[in-house]
Structure 1
Amino acid sequence: MTRRLDLAMLLLLTFSTGMVDAIGYLGFDKVFTGNMTGNVVILGMGLAGAEGVPVLRPALALVFFMIGAALSGRILGDIGENWHHRTTVIFSSVAVGCAALSIYVAVVPDPEIGLAGTIFTSALSALMGAQAAAARKMKIADVTTVVVTSTIVGLASDSRLAGGDSTRWVRRFLAVVLILIGALAGAATLMLNQWIGIAIVAVLVAAATVIGHLGEKKKQTRAEAADPVPSNA
């Protein structure tokens, strides 16, 4: 049951990543802050001199994503695949960071322009890197929260049409659909104001953190009830 809660939490984060990437790409000069594959491709085209394709922000986003992932990995250490209090720390930090960035975007004039936009995309990429590293530690197959390419490959190659048994097709399908709907939602929030989408992401990450944390608490409670500590009396 706990792993199902973990899966639900990661699917929720997959939706929020769709929002994040839509906001970064459409609102902040074609930068992916969650999907680094997209950034690498954009960076390659930009370095080739393609007109209107940025170089600085995708490059910095890639660097800061790696920094965020490295720091997250250092904090988490060898905790195994189960939820840990350090996992709560990482996801809580991502939620607080996104909330702070929503305030930043709300108060800074023209936050998408110049240095202000570069700071935003770099900081958000670091947060997404930390999130991705924490999600990877949990080892929920086919759900990384930041990319669905391998998920789509698995969905197609293991399908009955391909002669497979459609293993884990529900979670794979949900991951693809949720990142798609998340991108749609993120693009829609840009019609209102840039800060709104990031604020929603902060709420979603906070909700995912609560789901995961409470799920692990319930697991610990059941384990203690099943194996009580002998009394010394």
Structure 2
Amino acid sequence: MSAVLRDAWATVVPDMEDRHGPLPPLMLTLTVVTGLVDAFSYLVLGHVFVANMTGNVVFSGFAIAGAAGFSLTASLAALAAFAAGALFGGRLAHGARTHRGRVLHRALLLETALVVVAYGIAEATAATPYAGTVQYVLIVLLGLAMGVQNAAARALAVPDLTTTVLTLTITGVAADSRAAGGKDSKAGRRTLSAGAMFVGGLVGAVAVQHGGPALPLLFAALLLVAASVAAFVLARSDAAWTKQL
């Protein structure tokens, strides 16, 4: 247990001399953002995810089979927007590939702008649940934002902190554990990653049900603004962690 707690602490309060420097807590913050945004998209925009593309592929199959409550058009729109966002995010990452802090900062500026615009539209729209043009505009904006985030996380390559995908993270906790014959399950960091997504989803769902449908996007935007400010400072660093792998 002590090893798990040490691993978790090193993720939240990292050693600045570590290969990934201050990036792990920022990746955890973006994981919370993912939970918030997907809570909004699934609960308010219909059965569609804007960050979890595995879910949208499965939902597309459900929709084709005629299952109630699933829209093939919405799932395809989310997939296309996410792919476009990943393309933009990839271009940003490659443009600043010599400095990981700049990769994060540029990606966060774009992602924050997209989420803020989405929040503005969601808050200004009186009729909910969102439907028609507004629904698809929100899906596209948020899909683009999550694609950018995922591309940046891929470029930064902080182990077990992808910000959007948990399947391999949870698999690693079990498969790399001593019970399975492994030596280092990194359970502290991996559990924090899953917990961050859970917290984002929980807070997002509570906000939708008891606050307002656009509230998860406001929370996500505030976290992104804070992360962007931190990334602005990090973009000026010349520490060893800023160099690409």
* 1:105–1:195 contact (8 Å) kept in structure 2: yes
Q: Which has the higher mean CA deviation after the structures are superposed, 75-84 or 139-148?
A: 75-84
Per the alignment, residue 228 of structure 1 pairs with none
Q: Which moved more, 1:36-45 or 1:77-86?
A: 77-86
Contact 1:9/1:209 (8 A) holds in 2: no
Q: Percent identity at matched positions?
A: 31
* 1:109 aligned partner: 126
Counterparts in 2 of 1:17-166, with a 5 A limit? 17-77=34-94, 79-80=96-97, 82-110=99-127, 112-166=130-184
1:197 aligns with 2:187: no
For the Cα contact (< 8 Å) 1:42–1:58, is it kept in 2?
Answer: yes
1:177 counterpart letter in structure 2: G
Q: CA deviation at 1:59?
A: 0.7
CA RMSD of the aligned region, Å?
Answer: 1.8
When residues 168 and 216 of structure 1 are mapped into structure 2, their CA distance, relative to the original with a 3 A threshold, is farther
What's the TM-score once normalised by structure 2's chain length? Answer: 0.84
Answer whether contact 2:41 2:50 (CA < 8 A) is retained. Answer: yes
Matched letter for residue 134 of structure 1: A
1:60, distance to aligned residue in structure 2 (A): 0.4
Query: 3-state SS of the aligned residue for 2:38?
Result: helix
Letter in 1 for 2:181: G
Unmatched tracts of structure 2, length 5 or more: 1-15, 241-245
Structure 1 gaps of 5+ residues are: 224-233
Going from structure 1 to structure 2, the CA distance change for 1:99 and 1:78 (only over 3 Å counts) comes to closer
Give the greater-gyration-radius structure (CA).
1
TM-score normalized by the length of structure 1: 0.88
Query: Deviating runs (4+, > 6 A) in structure 1?
Result: none
